């Protein structure tokens, strides 16, 4: 067996294939348990999961591994990632664990760790745990008295109350809302929150059967321009239409006309709202290199700075914590509105916050609130690769990248990275007002092919998406 390593969002893999099988999950549990037992005498760990069919089996194996190392395991059932983070802190757990593969299909699953303060673990902590897991795989861990298993699904109610409490005094009654729950962890929780606040709610894709999570629904399908949510938003004249992903740490919106409202728009709306309240600490919004420059320009008109980090919510969070910022996120809809009890991306809290902005600024529309963000032509292209050596070691790719940048001009942006969970290279190209969407798409394909030629990869079609609308672009990519 190979070593188990943490990616950008935990340990991921195909269900039934090690380590996303009972043996791998047990070994991960043993490694995490051994790590925690060396930190405290009687550690307690809270586990939650999304609705994937594999969740029960992986939870049982993971819990067995933890308990074999003397850890008490508290199972709270199906709940969002942010719910695990909140309950971990509220009930004084040494760690929280989420079993989920976020926006990926049911055939994938993952295990991600959350620290006692509700924050994701640092790279250094994950490296130590990787060593403990390696010891578990080799059978080198010391034996320990067994821990216990507790079942507390009723703790989900504490999380629901936590979500709605900040908005109890607002006049949500009559607000028309559509919720695409992606047949995932939001399926019960999100409708309960909006209903208790008095909204007139249309609930969609909230009947999980273990295999329909993210299937033709959810945030990524909305971004791809393939969702039924825009039609519902227009037909039912809703004021807020929201799509979550499988573990509900993301929220993508659709306005009343069916237009995409992504993470860039959300950061602008919330950032300017907080600025107007005098509550935007540091006068800055944190986002990643993938954000559209239209966000920077729109925020700058309000005197708000944009701080950019590497791609990944963990890097956004690190910057926020180090500099004391309270708002950050990604174009994907992973938004953090930080305080001591909101410590990670929470799609449901983001949606409720936006609803409160609509209510406080009424009469207004989501389209009007997002309109100042004028997007530049931007695409993201994804291509399969056979290996992932460091990109800065690929001389032929670097030459091609320099050529593309010269052709696009100084104001253009190029970001190339490997996917943290799939055998893919992702290329984001943002042009200027002088280029068309097709122009920047062709340059993105050129860079994908340059990486594939250097590391291996097929000549099949490359997936290209318009970052502004979420729609796939029908552009021939073979032979390029």
Active site residues: 102
Q: Any residues with CB less than 8 A from the CB of 361 and at least 6 apart, and which?
A: 273, 369
What is the pairing mode between strands 284-288 and 305-309?
parallel
Of 30, 31, 120, 45, nearest to 75 by C-alpha is 45
Rounded Cα distance between 81 and 99, Å, is 9
Rounded Cα distance between 341 and 87, Å, is 9
Which residue's structure tokens are 């929150």? 193
Q: Any residues with CB less than 8 A from the CB of 124 and at least 6 apart, and which?
A: none
Token output for 14:
């195909």
Cα end-to-end distance, the chain, whole Å: 38
CB 253 within 8 A of CB 266: yes
SS3 253: strand
Rounded Cα distance between 197 and 200, Å, is 9
SS3 73: strand
CB 341 within 8 A of CB 162: yes
How many beta carbons lie within 10 A of that of residue 466, not counting itself?
Answer: 21
Spell out a b/e string for 436-458, using b for 16 or more CB atoms within 10 Å of the CB, else e. Answer: ebebbbbbbbbbbbbbbebbebe
């Amino acid at each position: 067996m190979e070593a188990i390593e943490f990616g950008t969002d935990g340990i991921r893999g195909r269900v039934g294939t090690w380590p996303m099988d009972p043996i791998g999950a047990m070994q991960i549990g043993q490694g995490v348990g051994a790590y925690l037992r060396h930190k405290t005498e009687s550690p307690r760990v809270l586990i939650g999961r999304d609705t994937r069919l594999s969740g029960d089996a992986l939870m049982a194996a993971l819990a067995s591994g933890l308990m074999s190392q003397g850890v008490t395991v508290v199972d709270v059932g199906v709940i969002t990632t942010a719910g695990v983070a909140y309950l971990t802190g509220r009930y004084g757990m040494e760690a929280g664990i989420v079993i989920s593969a976020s926006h990926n299909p049911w055939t994938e699953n993952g295990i991600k760790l959350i620290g006692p303060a509700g924050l994701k673990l640092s790279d250094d902590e994950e490296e130590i745990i990787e060593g403990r897991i390696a010891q578990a795989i080799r059978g080198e861990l010391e034996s320990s008295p067994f821990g216990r298993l507790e079942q507390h699904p009723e703790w989900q109610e504490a999380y629901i109350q936590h979500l709605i409490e900040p908005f109890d005094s607002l006049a949500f009654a009559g607000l028309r809302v559509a919720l695409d729950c992606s047949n995932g962890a939001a399926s019960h929780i999100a409708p309960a929150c909006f209903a208790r606040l008095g909204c007139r709610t249309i609930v969609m894709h909230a009947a999980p059967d273990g295999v329909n999570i993210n299937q033709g629904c959810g945030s990524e399908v909305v971004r791809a321009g393939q969702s039924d949510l825009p039609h519902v938003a227009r037909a039912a004249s809703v004021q807020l239409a929201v799509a979550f992903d499988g573990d509900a740490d993301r929220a993508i919106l659709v306005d009343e006309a069916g237009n995409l409202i992504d993470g860039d728009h959300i950061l602008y709306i919330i950032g300017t709202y907080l600025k107007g309240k005098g509550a935007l600490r540091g006068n800055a919004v944190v986002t990643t290199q993938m954000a559209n420059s239209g966000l920077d320009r729109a925020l700058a008109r309000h005197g708000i700075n944009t701080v950019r980090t590497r791609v990944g919510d963990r890097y956004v969070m690190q910057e926020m914590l180090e500099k004391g910022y309270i708002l950050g996120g990604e174009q994907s809809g992973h938004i953090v509105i930080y305080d001591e009890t909101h410590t990670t991306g929470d799609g449901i809290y983001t949606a409720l916050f936006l609803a409160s902005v609509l209510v406080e600024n009424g009469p207004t529309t989501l389209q009007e609130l997002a309109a100042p963000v004028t997007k530049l032509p931007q695409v993201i292209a994804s291509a399969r690769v056979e290996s992932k050596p460091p990109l800065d070691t690929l001389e032929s790719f670097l030459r091609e990248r320099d050529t593309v940048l010269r052709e696009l001009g100084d104001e253009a942006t190029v970001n190339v990275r490997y996917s943290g969970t799939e055998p893919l290279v992702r290329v984001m190209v943002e042009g200027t007002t002088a280029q068309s969407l097709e122009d920047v798409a062709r340059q993105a394909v050129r860079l994908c092919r340059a990486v594939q030629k250097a590391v291996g990869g097929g000549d099949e079609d490359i997936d290209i998406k318009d970052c502004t609308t979420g729609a796939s672009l029908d552009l021939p990519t073979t032979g390029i």
